[in-house]
Structure 1
Amino acid sequence: MRFHFISGLPRSGSTLLAALLRQNPRFHAGMSGPVAGMVAALLGEMSGRNEYSVFIDDAARQRVLRGAIENYYAGTAADVVFDTNRAWCARMGALRAMYPQSRVIACVRDMPWVIDSVERLVQRNAFQPSSIFNYAVGGTVYSRADGVANGDGLVGYPYNALKEAFFGEHAGNLMLLQYETLVANPRAALAAVYDFIGEPGFEHDFERIEYDASEFDRKAGTPGLHEVRGRVGAVPRESVLPPDVFRRFENDAFWRHPELNRRGVRVV
């Protein structure tokens, strides 16, 4: 079994990408899952805060972490597993050490539209407080934008992790897949993914896509959070953000500036 990882920004096509990849019977892919959190928890328990950590060296830590990942997927018959989590971009060194041949596909999108997509969900579910904001009632589009964009927020944390990966020494294992490319030219986007991970191509069906995480989304108080339309395509729309909030994030797409891409990261 080979492992690859889907990461990047929220509301940027990771669930759509997983829904497409899982059409290939050799692949397993899904929405964000618990594995990255398990890895983080285990790293914490094996750190110096535990008096018994004196008995644990880095080789043992790697074995424990690989064991957690591989045992989680032990019941999967697929040859290739894609695990999805926004935290993986902050674990590039660990992934490289444990799985040298693995690749990280980071889904990205123009930042104002990421914030817009979150706000649109909140406004659409006006009677259901969302887990995104710890089920808090109240606030405005301004406080919500501030909350998701801060360093620990739904958008701010993965954005900073993405920059860490993009500019870091393990950027050779990273590919950025733009949402705009995925929805406008899914065939080219998937071909780039297959080339990046070194797998033979597969004829995907972009007109009939199946993925249902509605129960999870309802429990999170955010119906539609992982909704995937039945066919791939761009849907033009007006932003629900006030113009000043939209402008605040307009220049954050660093991946669109070739002069900043000193590591030669593939941007699709």
Structure 2
Amino acid sequence: MTAKFHFIAGLPRSGSTLLAALLRQNPRFHASMSSPLARMTSSVLVEMTGEDGPLVSPDKRRGVLRGLFDAYYAEESATREVIFDTNRGWGTRLPLLTELFGDVKMICMVRDVARVMDSFEVLVRKNVFERSGLFLDERERATVYSRTEALLLPNRTIGYALASLKEAVYGEHARSVLVVEYDHLVRFPAQTLRLIYQFLGEPLFEHSLDTLHYDEPGFDNGIATPGLHLVRPSIQTIARRTVLPPDLHERLSQLSFWRQPGYSRAHLVRHANAGAGDADGAAKLVIASADEVSEPDLLPELHRLP
């Protein structure tokens, strides 16, 4: 069986593992935590374009890379029709993925950047007897400010993911991108999943929102950050105060660029206009026009970034 490939990218701590846990309930789908396939692709490209590059034609390069995907997912492709590969680096590879697979779709999970850092900070403080592998040395681990600056560096966990996300959202293949806020997936999972299926062009599947389970303790413990990929059995919204200082929270929130007007052909799940509802008062999802303003307490809809 030849499987169809789609991709999950975006920001860390923004629901990509939760989305994978939901999608894998569909017997037609395979989805998981971040795989090494993006890094493997980059490594193979380096080899094929290096000293021996003239010996490897573009057609051979395409065949080798497509073969890498098929080989990596050979077992899953035998029983699943759609493969979702997750890696934050895919945002920089949309032109390549389009060349390899044609009509690919990419779901980019996002979250207020302050909340992303807050989530990392909670994990670090929770595991007080561990030296998290997210940081290189004690200078980076020293304070919440140094930890934040470290993760925001261009080649590090948050900084690289932000740059990759911008490249996908503002690039020439942005029509293939759907930006999904973590809060929408958690607060309105059924509606958000319906929009994701609509975007993918896949038949709807009835998901169970109360029998979730996903965990990668081997990986998480290996980087001394237990719970990094743990998904709770049911989707819950947990209200709590941020652990970040106010000045840091405000500065980080300003990095959430997808909430600001800006040219892009990407799609965005966002709130419906006030008053959009059925006759019985239930909220109704619509496809908004580009100039509609988000209303924070209503349901999301599929919307083009202006």
TM-score (normalizing by structure 2): 0.84
The one-letter amino acid of 1:128's match is: E
CA offsets 1:2-34 (integer angstroms, 9 cap, x no match): 000000000000000000000001110000011
Please say if 1:63 is aligned against 2:63.
yes
CA offsets 1:109-146 (integer angstroms, 9 cap, x no match): 01100011111111111111112114758421111100
**1:160 counterpart (151, 160, 163):** 163
Is this contact kept in 2: 1:104–1:175, CA < 8 A? yes
Quote the offset at 1:266 in angstroms: 3.1
CA distance in 1, matches of 2:163, 2:254: 15
- Which residue identity lines up with residue 174 of structure 2 in the other structure? A
Q: Which residue of the partner structure matches residue 73 of structure 1?
A: 73
- Offset of 1:264 from its aligned partner? 4.5
Q: Which of residues 248, 251, 263 in structure 1 aligns to 2:251?
A: 248
> Given residue 66 of structure 2, which amino acid in structure 1 is its aligned partner?
R
Give the equivalent residue in structure 2 for 1:175: 178
- Written as runs of structure 1 = structure 2, the 5 A alignment for 1:21-100 is 21-47=23-49, 50-76=50-76, 77-100=79-102
The answer to whether structure 1 residue 8 and structure 2 residue 14 are counterparts is no
Kept in 2, the 8 Å contact 1:129–1:136? The answer is: no
The one-letter code of the counterpart of 2:245 is P
Equivalent residues in 2 for 1:104-143, closer than 5 Å: 104-134=106-136, 136=138, 138-143=141-146
Distance 1:135 1:221, change over 3 A: farther
Q: Does 1:206 align with 2:209?
A: yes
Q: Which amino acid aligns with 2:60?
A: A
CA RMSD, 1 decimal: 1.3
Partner residue of 2:221 out of 218, 233, 250? 218
Contact 1:9 1:106 in 2 (8 A): yes
Q: Deviation per CA, 1:155-179: give whole Å up to 9, x if none.
A: 0101011111111100011110110
> How has the CA–CA distance of structure 1 residues 199 and 135 changed in structure 2, closer, same or farther, with 3 Å as cutoff?
farther
> What amino acid maps onto 2:64 in structure 1?
V
Aligned partners of 1:230, 1:33: CA distance in 2, in Å? 23
Query: What TM-score results when the alignment is normalised by the length of structure 1?
Result: 0.95
**More relative contact order, 1 or 2 (CA 8 Å, 6+ apart):** 1
Letter in 2 for 1:243: P
- Runs of at least 5 residues in structure 2 that lack an aligned partner in the other structure: 271-306
Compare 170-179 and 133-142 and name the one that shifted more: 133-142
Aligned pair count reads 265
| The 10-residue stretch of structure 1 (86-95 or 61-70) with the greater mean CA deviation from structure 2 | 61-70
